[in-house]
């Protein structure tokens, strides 16, 4: 069984290491965090490994997971490459969705294989149950020999692997951020608008819950063109105009967000082909399409 060292065992690192241990894929050797206490706590959650306080204390391992913050990856890779700890053929990977595996090039220059594997999942906490990654897409790029090992390692813990183009890594990650983080931000705008209309925020959340669940299911099952409903999908220019003017008077920033999102919704409504064309034309004029 290949040995695994972890530098920066946060929620992602703990989750992956715990799953690999449970499935007898990698044996955790050492964990290095900002503090020895944090590293020890990570080992306890993983159920394996020995906490160390410095890079020099790390034992040899065939796989090195750098699950530090994005802005620390390059610096840690430099230090690891210069440490003399790497052996030819060792795999060094990071899990950033925004950054390419080429940040690990110093390790590649030290004869290691490099890769990046991004589980498309939120990790608000470390998750150690055996199904924590089941059904999660894990998007990877890097050296072919490293990906061959990692593809199997992620599939065995329930992941679905997908190779992506490192040249488009930033655009890829932006898409996932819009889908996840911006959805949260958009719902905050919706809740604030309902609160301003007199609804208690908790009530507004309950009101929106079935609508959000149904909308998400529609997007997953029938794509965005068919999932679009409501006044823009119908070409109901009078309703949309009143909403836009109300928001302009109440909160110009929300009105601008409404207008920008409305432009995309108009394109979808046109593709859907079920809206009143005169209404769509009026909305194009309203939103500046």
pLDDT tens-digit map of 229-257: 999 999 999 999 999 999 999 999 999 99
Residue 274 has pLDDT above 90, yes or no: no
What burial letters (b/e) apply to 178-191, b meaning 16+ CB within 10 Å? Answer: eeeeeeeeeeeeeb
The structure's pTM equals 0.87
Least confident piece of the model among 121-125, 137-141, 217-221, 261-265: 121-125
pLDDT tens track for 34-84: 999 999 999 999 999 999 999 999 999 999 999 999 999 999 999 999 999
pLDDT tens track for 138-189: 999 999 999 999 999 999 999 999 999 999 999 999 999 999 999 999 999 9
How close are the terminal C-alpha atoms of the chain, in Å?
A: 59
Query: Kind and range of the H or E element at 160?
Result: strand 160-163
The span from the CA of 31 to the CA of 5, in Å, is 6
Q: What is the pLDDT of residue 87?
A: 97
The span from the CA of 98 to the CA of 181, in Å, is 14
Beta bridge partners of 161: 138
Tokens 């063109």 map to which residue? 225
pLDDT tens track for 4-41: 999 999 999 999 999 999 999 999 999 999 999 999 99
Q: Which two tokens stand for residue 225?
A: 């063109």
Under the banding of pLDDT at 50, 70 and 90, the label for residue 289 is low
The span from the CA of 23 to the CA of 250, in Å, is 55
Tell me the mean pLDDT in the region 78-102: 97
The burial class, CB within 10 Å (0-12 / 13-18 / 19+), for 221 is exposed
Beta bridge partners of 209: none
Q: What is the pLDDT of residue 260?
A: 95
Alpha helices in the chain, H assignment, sequence order: 11-22, 36-46, 73-82, 105-109, 144-155, 169-196, 201-227, 231-234, 237-250, 252-272, 277-287
Tokens 């399409």 map to which residue? 289
Under the banding of pLDDT at 50, 70 and 90, the label for residue 280 is confident
**What is the CA 118 to chain-centroid distance, rounded?**
8
Q: Which two tokens stand for residue 174?
A: 């932006």
């Amino acid at each position: 069984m290949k040995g695994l060292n972890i530098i920066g065992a946060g929620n992602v690192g703990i989750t992956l290491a715990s799953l690999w241990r449970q499935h007898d894929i990698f044996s955790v050797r050492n964990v290095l965090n900002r503090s020895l206490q944090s590293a020890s706590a990570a080992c306890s959650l993983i159920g394996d490994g020995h906490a160390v306080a410095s890079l020099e204390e790390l034992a040899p391992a065939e796989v090195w997971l750098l699950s530090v913050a994005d802005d620390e990856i390059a610096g840690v890779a430099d230090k690891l490459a210069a440490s003399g700890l790497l052996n030819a053929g060792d795999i060094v990977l990071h899990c950033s969705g925004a950054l390419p595996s080429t940040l690990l090039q110093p390790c590649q220059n030290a004869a290691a294989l490099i890769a990046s594997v991004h589980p498309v999942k939120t990790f608000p906490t470390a998750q150690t149950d055996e199904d924590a990654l089941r059904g999660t897409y894990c998007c990877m790029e890097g050296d072919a020999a490293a990906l061959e090992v990692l593809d199997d390692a992620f599939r065995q813990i329930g992941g679905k692997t997908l190779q992506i183009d490192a040249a488009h890594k930033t655009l890829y990650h932006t898409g996932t951020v819009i889908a996840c983080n911006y959805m949260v931000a958009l719902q905050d705008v919706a809740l604030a608008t309902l609160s301003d209309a007199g609804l208690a925020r908790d009530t507004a959340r309950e009101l929106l819950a079935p609508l959000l669940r149904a909308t998400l299911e529609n997007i997953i099952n029938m794509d965005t063109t068919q999932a679009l409903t409501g006044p823009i999908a119908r070409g109901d220019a009078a309703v949309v105009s009143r909403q836009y003017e109300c928001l302009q008077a109440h909160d110009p920033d929300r009105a601008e967000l409404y207008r920008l999102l409305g432009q995309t919704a108009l394109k979808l409504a046109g593709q859907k082909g079920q809206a009143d064309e005169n209404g769509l034309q009026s909305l194009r004029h309203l939103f500046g399409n």
